């Protein structure tokens, strides 16, 4: 059974870089079709997609965050990571990683497996 | 940028049918997904490709999408269905979520 687990610091100072890792276990990470994504949720607010990456390293980013975001993959460790530069208080949120499931014909089957989320607070 | 609009809240009595809408420009020409998020939990996919249910999702959850509106319908609503619900679609290569609807079962 596929499981995703986020890890990283719970507190980041303003203007610094937020770094999180998502570890994938229980099933093959080496999918030719699926993508792996980051989604965040500020306290009391809705979901915001940050970006996604494929096993081969192809990335898509939310245009509103693109200038500050880098998502990378480490296939040897079954992990993918998020870096968000120059953080501000508005970046305080629960950060979730998720699998974006696709069919062989690139049909999107939804974000079907989620990590439990990790809370990151931006504060001095 | 593309936007999806949901009502902030919907109320339903137990055993009745709840409908949650999601509106966006020509949304019917895209596929919509729906996610349920219970308090303190991660989101869970309940509908994908407008109408399909993942394995393990009860049959009382159904979806439709036409014109500018996608709808999540929960038939025979149970107290365990009380949660926030989010619609999601793709605008080219950007995933967009609706603002979420709080479903209250009372």
- pLDDT per position as a tens digit, A73-84: 998 999 999 999
Give tens-digit pLDDT for B71-94.
999 999 999 999 999 999 999 999
Note whether A52 contacts B100, CB cutoff 8 Å: no
Write out pLDDT tens, residues A81-98: 999 999 999 999 999 999
Strand A108-114 to A11-12 pairing: unpaired
- Closest Cα to residue B68, out of B25, B5, B100? B25
Q: Are A100 and A111 in contact (CB under 8 A)?
A: yes
Facing B45 at nearest CB: one of A48, A111, A117: A111
SS3 B44: strand
The pair of structure tokens assigned to B82 is 């009380």
Residue of A37, A47, A116 to mutate when probing chain B, most B C-beta within 10 A: A47
Burial B25-45 (b: 16+ CB within 10 A, else e): eebbebbbbbbbbeeeebbbb
pLDDT at B6: 98
Q: Rounded to whole angstroms, how far apart are CA atoms A68 and A65? A: 6
pLDDT band for position B14 (cuts 50, 70, 90): very high
What is the dihedral angle through the alpha carbons of A26, A29, A30, A32, rounded to the nearest 10 degrees? 110
List the 17-46 stretch of A: residues with Cβ below 8 A of B: 37, 39, 46
| pLDDT at position A102 over 80 | yes
Check if B55 contacts A (Cβ < 8 Å): no
Q: To the nearest 10°, the Cα dihedral for B82, B83, B89, B93?
A: -160
Q: Are A47 and B100 a contacting pair at CB < 8 A? A: yes
Q: Do B97 and A37 touch (CB under 8 A)?
A: no
């Amino acid at each position: 059974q596929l499981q995703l687990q986020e890890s990283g610091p719970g507190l980041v100072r303003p203007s610094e870089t937020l770094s999180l890792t998502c570890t994938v276990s229980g099933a093959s990470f080496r999918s030719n079709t699926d993508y792996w994504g980051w989604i965040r949720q500020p306290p009391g607010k809705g979901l915001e997609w940050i970006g996604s990456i494929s096993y081969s390293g192809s990335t898509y980013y939310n245009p509103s965050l693109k200038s500050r975001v880098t998502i990378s993959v480490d296939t040897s460790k079954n992990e993918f990571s998020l870096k968000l530069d120059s953080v501000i208080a508005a970046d305080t949120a629960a950060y979730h990683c998720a699998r974006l499931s696709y069919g062989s014909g690139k049909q999107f089957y939804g974000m079907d497996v989620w990590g439990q989320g990790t809370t990151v607070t931006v504060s001095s | 940028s593309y936007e999806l609009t949901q009502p902030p809240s919907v109320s339903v009595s137990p055993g009745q049918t709840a409908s949650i809408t999601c509106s966006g420009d020509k949304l019917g020409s895209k596929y919509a997904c729906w996610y349920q998020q219970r308090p303190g939990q991660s989101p869970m996919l309940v509908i994908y490709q407008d109408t399909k249910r993942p394995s393990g999702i009860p049959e009382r959850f159904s979806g439709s999408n036409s014109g500018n509106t996608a709808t999540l319908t929960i038939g025979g609503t149970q107290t365990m269905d009380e949660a926030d619900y989010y619609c999601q679609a793709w605008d080219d290569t950007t995933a967009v979520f609706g603002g979420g609807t709080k479903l209250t079962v009372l």
